[in-house]
Every structure is written in C-alpha cells, then in structure tokens.
Structure 1
Amino acid sequence: MNQTIQDFTSGNMARQMLRFAWPLFLANLLQTLYSIVDMVVVGQFVGSGGLAALSSASMIVFVITSLCTGITTGGAVLVAQYEGAHKKQRRVHTIGTLFTLSMLLSVLVTVSSLLLYHPLLELMQLPKEAMQYADDYMGIVCMGTVFVFGYNAVCAVLRGLGDSRRPLYFVLAAAIANIVLDLLLVGVFRMDTRGAAIATVVSQGISFFVAAVSLKRSRLAVGAYSAGLFLSKTAKLILKIGLPTAGQMAILNLSYLIATGMLNVFGVAVAAASGIGLKLNTVAAMPIWAVGQAVTTIAGQMMGAGDMQRAQITGKTGAQLCIAAAVITTILFQLFAGPLVMLFNADPDVVREGILYLRICCSLNCIVYAVMYAYNSFATGVGDAMFSFLNSMLDCVVIRILGSFLLGFSFGCGFIGIYIAESFAPVLPAIVAGIYFTRRRWMAKRLVGT
C-alpha cells in the first residue's frame, strides 16, 4: 500500500481521523491564504476601494470554487466506497469518468461565470469606487476555472483512497507562488486587483500541474488516463452526490454573497469590515471543514465495506472533534479580534466594525455550526448528499437570507440585525442533522450496491 494511504477499517477512530484531517486542515488553510494574501496586499497597496472590491468578488469566487469542489466530491465519495468494497476496476472507471466530466464542466462553468459575474456584482450593490477593481479581478480569475476543477478532481481521488498528505504538498507549492507573485505584481508593478488575479490563476495552474503529475506517477489510477473513460452510469452516480454537494456549497456562498450585498448598503467601512470578518470566520471554520472532509471519506469507505457499526462511530467521533475545534477557535478569535482585523486594514472605522462582526458571528454559533457540518458531511459520505443539500437550504435560504432581510431592513436593526441572523442560521439545521444521524435511515444509502 502507498505510504500516504490510510486503512480506516480498524484502530482508534479519533486518532485515525485526526491523522487524516490534519493535512486537510493545512491544505485548506493554504488555499484560503490565496485570497487572504490578495486582500492583505490589495488593502495595503490599493486601499479601501480595492479591499471592498475583493471582499465582494471573493464571494463570487467562492461560488465558482464550490461548484468545482462539490461536483468532484461526488467522485471522492464513490472512489471511497469502491475502495472500501475492494472493487478496483470500478474505482478506475470512476477516476476516468471523473476526469472527463470535470473537463467538460469546467468549460461550462467558465463561460457561465464570465457572463454572470458583473450582474452579480451589481446585485450586491458594490460601491461605485470599487466596481472597476472588482471587474478587473473577476475577468481574469474566471479563466482559471479549469485549473480549479482539475486540481479538485485529482485531490478528490486521493482523498477517496485515504491520502490526505499529497494535496497539502500541492497547495504549499501554489501558496508560495501566490505570495511571491502578489508582492511582485501588486506591490512592485502596481497592477492593482489585476495583479492579484493573475497571481491567483498562476498559482492554481501550478497546483493542478503538480497534482496531475503526482497522481500519474503514483500509478493509483492506472488505466484511467489512457482509456479516456466516460461511463454514463458512473457519471450519474458521481453527479448524484456531486450536484447536491455543489448546490449545498454554492447556496452557502450565495447566501453570504446576498448578505454581503445587504451589508454593502451601509458604506465602504462596513463592507470592508464584514468582508474581513467573513474571511476570518472562514479561517475559524477550517478545522471543522477538515474533520468534515475526513468524516465524508471514512464514512464512504465504511459504507463500501458494509461496516455500519464503524460508520456510526465515524459520525459520532467526527461531531465530537468538530465541537472541540469550534471551542478552541472561538476562544482565540474572541481574544484576538482586534489584532486579526488590523492584519487587513488599519482604518479605525474598519477595525471597529470588523471587531463587532467577529464578536457576533464568531461566537457560540460556531459550536452549533460544527454539529451541523459534521453530520451533513457524514450524510454525504454515506451517499445521501440530498439531505445535506436540503439542510443547507434551511440554514442558508430560510434562516440566513430571510432572517437578514427581516432583521436588517423590515425590523430596522441595520447591519447588526444581519450579523445576528447569520449567527443564528445553523441552530435549527444542527437539530435536524442530529435527528437524521440518530434515526439511522442513512444505513440504506450505500452507493456501491446500486
């Protein structure tokens, strides 16, 4: 067995999950570093207008990335279940089909994003002084979608097989390139947001190239490249998981995009501060996301192996680890809210509003979110991505968007009302997810038996 691949069928689940999740956390952190470095450099060299532009543009980029990540997650789950069931040939068919599907969909997503990003920026009511910066950024970043799809497809295969280390190495190379190019293009050559966009796309290309070469040399996907595989039945299974997962992630980011649009009404200081706050909140959620990714993979392998008892242990352990991570990050972010905001912008108004955002939106709600995310991730791994999608609709549409509108505007609470709605959004979905897990209907969702 390859040294980077883990066997989850026996041993201490918490230890195995942490060992698998740790590289995922670092990889996610480094990926987020792309946009954080963009914001820090643009904030320092371009100013509040450029920072507000990237705050809003990053919401659209998150939606695009969510589509890529979500669809390829369908491949990761199917690979994991075939790996658990020891069906090597079907695993190879899944990998080949995933690559072909990703290439086709990358074209569709690229064209769609180029057509839609400016109307979305207008819908978000981005301040006029920031619009050109945002247009310059998005026009370039959209062209890198093929790299995002390709990279996520390779990493989905590796995660499904139980390898979380190599994706970390791929992202590390890209992060170094991104930091160097950001400082050079924005800081030295003064290319504003265009320079930040070029740095991001080049970095994405590097991560995809290194990932593809590594997978091919590992021979874990022998037959998937040369055969040009595309099996319609396999594609349907990938999309059965991938489309709801992509929808779940897209709706989450769209809800933040709409909330950002509502917040932009209150001026540049609030727009920039909430953008910084959301970025920091994203970092706070990274350990939870890493454990969730581990839960998805391990639950998939256990379902493929038909080991329902160990699958249940996976869900319980994942929820416990997510809660522990949420407690730690919440304490740290509450203690150091001011210095963290000042990393992005030293404007006193922005710092004040950014601290307020973190006080409300990165507090006890993070612990509730941890429960929801752990069980949603479990549902995806066992093959019931539709539950995760519907539960996210409850979180994002029914509570976050509707609640933000009601509290922010109908009841006249302003931007603080929007913060409160975001804070309470995961409460009901966490309860629903807990009931779903304990009722055990997920045991009938195994994909490899279909």
Structure 2
Amino acid sequence: MKKEQQDLTMGNVSIKLIKFAIPLLAANLIQAFYSIADMLVVGRIVGAVGLAAISNASMICFIINSICIGITMGGTVVVAQYKGAHDEQGQKETVSTLFTVSFIMSIILTITGLLVYKPVFELLNVPAEAMQDACDYMMIICAGTFFVFGYNAVCSIMKGFGDSRSPFIFIAVAAVINIILDLILVGPLGLGTKGAAYATIFSEGMSLIISVIYLRYNSFMFDFKLKSFGIKADKLVAILKVGMPTAVQMVIVNVSYLMITGMLNNFGVSVAAASGIGLKVTTLVGMPCWAIGQAVTAMVGQNMGAHNFQRVQHTTKIGLRFNLMITLAVVLLVLIFAEAIIMLFNPSSPDVIREGVLYLRICCSLNSLVYVAMYTFDSFAIGVGAANIAMCNALLDAVVVRLFMSWLFAFSLDYGFKGIYVGQAISPILPAIVGAIFFYGGKWKQKGLV
C-alpha cells in the first residue's frame, strides 16, 4: 500500500497538486456521470415526471451524503496531519476510530432518512404526479446509506495518506455496474425510477466490497476484523473538530438547495425538471474545482502537520490559479452548447429545454469563478483544521444570500423562477470574500490538530 501513498510535504507543489488531483477528478467525474446516467435513462424512458421525482429525491440524497462526506473528511485531515508529523500510531488509531464512527452514523442516518423523506416531500410540494416515484426512489436509496458511509470512509483515509489512485479504481468499477443496471432495470424490466435507485445502491455496495478486498490484499494497516474496530477519544475529538463543521457546512448548502427545489416546484413539472437537469450540469462543471479543492485539503493537512506554513500558502495559491483557469474553460463550453446539453436529458419537451438553457445561462456563468474562489479557500480552511470558517461561509452562501435573495426576487419582486436562478448565481460572493480575508490574515498558522 505504501507505494500508492505520497509525501505531499516535498517536491514541486504544482506537479504534486495536479498529480494528486487528476485521479480525484476522474473519480468525481465518473461518480457524477453515473448519477447523471440515472437522469438520462429515466428522462428518456419515464419522462418529465421521472426527472422531477429524481430531482426532488436527489436533494435528500445530497443531505445524507453531505453528512457522510463531512464526517469522513475529518478523517482525511487528521490522517494527513499525522502523516505529515510521521506519527504511525496516530494514523492507525485515527483509521480505527473513523471506521467505527462511520458504521454507527450509517445506522442512525438510515433510520432517520426512512422516517423523514415522505414528510419532507410533502413540505416541498413535490408535484402530485411525481410523488410516488420520488418516494419509491428515496426509500431504496436510504437503505443503501451504509455503503455510502463505508466507501467514503475508505476513500477519505486514502486521500489523507496521499493516495488518490485507489478511490478512482473503486468508483470506476461501481460506475460501470451502475450504468449497465440502469439500462436493464429502468427500461427492459420496467422498474422505472425504482430501477435507477436499485442500480445506485447495488453499485455503491460493490464499490465498498471492492475497496475492502483491495486494501486487505495490499497490506493496509487496518485488517477489517472485528477486534480492529474501536474509538480513541482524542482521535474522535480531532475527527469531529473538522468533520462536524464540514458536515454542517455541506448540510446547510444542500438544505438550501432542497428549499430552492421546493420554491421551483411551485412553477410546475417543466421548471422542476429543467432546474434538476441544470443542477446536474453545474455539478459536473464543479468537478475539476472539487478535485483540486480535495487535493488542496490533503496537501495543506500534511504540511500543517509538518509545520511548513510557506508551502501551505503556496499550495492554496496554486490551487486557486488552476481552479480559475479550468473552470473558465468548462463554463465557456457549457454556455456555447447549453441547448444541446439540455436536450441530452429531455429532447422532446420544448418547455424543459427552454427553462434548462435559461438556468445554465444564469447559474453557470461568471458566478462559477466566484464559487471557485470560495471553494478553494474553504478547502484550505478545512485542511488547516479551521472547518468552522467553511461552516460560517456555508451559512453566508446558503441562508443569507441564496435563500433570502431567491425568495426576494421570485416572490416579493415577482420575477418568478428566474429570480430564484439569480439568487443562486450571486450566493458565493460574500463567502469568497470571507475566505480570502482568513487566508491572507495569517491567524490560521495557530491552528492544527496534532
């Protein structure tokens, strides 16, 4: 396993960052692609009703995944800092603690998700014709929460060690399985949206199984036997110090999108379907930024453990520069081919195509570059152990700007769903400013977890 790990405290920063980020980007793109595959298959076979159902169900899925990714991100940062400090015992205890906590949290979230998804859909005014499909999809997805937690726990540990290649292998196999099952279950077997949900959880389960087998046969420090699980209090505190604010940050953002979806549902199935497609596309556009951000977090974490503050600063600046350049290029492509992109999902509905193109014109434009700055500075803050900064930025982004301004423009000023699009577009401005102030202020040098 050692050969896959990287020491991110040495060598050329740009080369290390890109080398680490490329497998993460590939993994993110594949994961996003098989999520989009659900919508492509359902959109073409089930139609706008199926798209609206998955769009609404995906919002709750994002919240569950946010808690999972947030908690396990704490493991990434703590492991990275222990690796930078060359403390192998600390690394082992962190791995054991994270896997145990992940198991417990997966059970709690499974039960909670099954209890709340239907009342949430009712609060969101999910279109009546899409309600049953949304409930069917969500019930199946909730049952697979354990697989999501397990896979993300393994991948977060690997990233902390400087290994971004293994997560790519795990998700690539799962993606192939998911797409094949989508094509079989949704169409020929006639399961509709339920088929897409079954394909998703089965592929996630396979991803977890493959990751455990891979690690056991590559001399990983944790052997996945019952006696190896356990919780060390100091490691739990360190993980939660990063993981809880990160989870809260991601939940806040996704709850805001859930509420935005509820606002958009008031304008009918076509708008709900179009905005769901638009969100999927903007998510895809964000993949390079997220990959580089994850690389920044891991690299900053290792260098904080080594107390190499100059390299921490250099890593963040290089990451921001890469993010701006790559995202600009992707955004230009989306704006040029906006109509063709929307037609991939639903070529037969002029209303969905028109509203989807408008969504991309407003929400996937220059505002994406501001989002890039926000996300890069948040990734840096999490890496140094100041996840509370990212959490505060999430409140600014999601509540102070996105929700308030969307409601103001859409309903008070009577701009309709177009006002909601504008509210989303301007949401990252304040958080980007706060993140820049924290980075250039220098107080983060007093942070650290180990």
TM bin (shorter chain): over 0.9
1:95 aligns with 95
Does the CA contact (< 8 Å) of 1:93 and 1:224 recur in 2?
Answer: no
1:321 aligns with 322
Q: Distance in 1 between matches of 2:322 and 2:250?
A: 22
User: Residues 260-275 of structure 1: matches in 2 within 5 Å?
Assistant: 260-275=261-276
Q: Distance in 1 between matches of 2:354 and 2:223?
A: 57
User: Residues 32-431 of structure 1: matches in 2 within 5 Å?
Assistant: 32-222=32-222, 225=225, 226-346=227-347, 347-431=349-433
Offset of residue 122 of structure 1: 1.4
Q: Distance in 1 between matches of 2:355 and 2:388?
A: 37
Cα deviations by residue, 1:306-354 (Å, 9 ceiling, x for unpaired)? 1111111111111111111221111111011111111110111101110
Does the CA contact (< 8 Å) of 1:403 and 1:421 recur in 2?
Answer: yes
Q: Quick one: structure 1 residues 201 and 224, their matched pair in 2 at CA, closer, same or farther if it must change by over 3 Å? A: closer
Q: Distance in 2 between matches of 1:143 and 1:396?
A: 28
Does the CA contact (< 8 Å) of 1:56 and 1:257 recur in 2?
Answer: yes
Which amino acid in structure 2 is aligned with residue 438 of structure 1?
A: Y
- Taking only the aligned residue pairs, the percentage that are identical comes to 51
Q: Distance in 1 between matches of 2:181 and 2:158?
A: 28
DSSP-derived class of the 1:218 partner: coil
Aligned residues: 448
Which amino acid in structure 1 is aligned with residue 333 of structure 2?
A: L
Contiguous gaps of at least 5 residues in structure 1? none
Q: Distance in 2 between matches of 1:55 and 1:19?
A: 34
The answer to which of 30-39 and 72-81 deviates more is 30-39
Cα deviations by residue, 1:61-112 (Å, 9 ceiling, x for unpaired)? 1111111111000011000000000000010000000000000010001111
The answer to which of 227-236 and 59-68 deviates more is 227-236
Does the CA contact (< 8 Å) of 1:270 and 1:353 recur in 2?
Answer: yes
Q: Distance in 2 between matches of 1:308 and 1:186?
A: 52
Does the CA contact (< 8 Å) of 2:96 and 2:222 recur in 1?
Answer: no
Which amino acid in structure 1 is aligned with residue 32 of structure 2?
A: T
The answer to which of 194-203 and 25-34 deviates more is 25-34
Which amino acid in structure 2 is aligned with residue 256 of structure 1?
A: Y
Cα deviations by residue, 1:280-306 (Å, 9 ceiling, x for unpaired)? 000000000000000000000000011
The answer to which of 375-384 and 29-38 deviates more is 29-38
Q: Distance in 1 between matches of 2:18 and 2:113?
A: 36
Q: Quick one: structure 1 residues 235 and 159, their matched pair in 2 at CA, closer, same or farther if it must change by over 3 Å? A: same
Which amino acid in structure 2 is aligned with residue 388 of structure 1?
A: A
Tell me the TM-score normalized by structure 1.
0.98
2:446 aligns with 444
Does the CA contact (< 8 Å) of 1:396 and 1:425 recur in 2?
Answer: yes
Does the CA contact (< 8 Å) of 1:95 and 1:157 recur in 2?
Answer: yes
Which amino acid in structure 1 is aligned with residue 221 of structure 2?
A: A
Does the CA contact (< 8 Å) of 2:222 and 2:228 recur in 1?
Answer: no
Does the CA contact (< 8 Å) of 2:13 and 2:314 recur in 1?
Answer: yes
Offset of residue 224 of structure 1: 7.1
Does the CA contact (< 8 Å) of 2:401 and 2:423 recur in 1?
Answer: yes
Cα deviations by residue, 1:14-53 (Å, 9 ceiling, x for unpaired)? 1111111111011111111232111111111111111110
Offset of residue 2 of structure 1: 2.6
1:29 aligns with 29
Q: Distance in 2 between matches of 1:133 and 1:294?
A: 37
Does the CA contact (< 8 Å) of 1:39 and 1:344 recur in 2?
Answer: yes
Offset of residue 217 of structure 1: 2.3
Offset of residue 223 of structure 1: 6.5
Cα deviations by residue, 1:363-382 (Å, 9 ceiling, x for unpaired)? 00000000000000000011
Does the CA contact (< 8 Å) of 2:36 and 2:280 recur in 1?
Answer: yes
Which amino acid in structure 2 is aligned with residue 210 of structure 1?
A: I
Cα deviations by residue, 1:187-230 (Å, 9 ceiling, x for unpaired)? 10110111111100100000011111222222232467543221
Which amino acid in structure 1 is aligned with residue 295 of structure 2?
A: A
Does the CA contact (< 8 Å) of 1:96 and 1:224 recur in 2?
Answer: no
Which amino acid in structure 2 is aligned with residue 246 of structure 1?
A: A
Does the CA contact (< 8 Å) of 2:216 and 2:223 recur in 1?
Answer: no
Tell me the TM-score normalized by structure 2.
0.98
1:13 aligns with 13
Q: Distance in 2 between matches of 1:325 and 1:312?
A: 20
The answer to which of 232-241 and 285-294 deviates more is 232-241
Q: Distance in 1 between matches of 2:36 and 2:29?
A: 10
Which amino acid in structure 1 is aligned with residue 396 of structure 2?
A: L
Does the CA contact (< 8 Å) of 2:97 and 2:230 recur in 1?
Answer: yes
Q: Distance in 2 between matches of 1:14 and 1:253?
A: 31
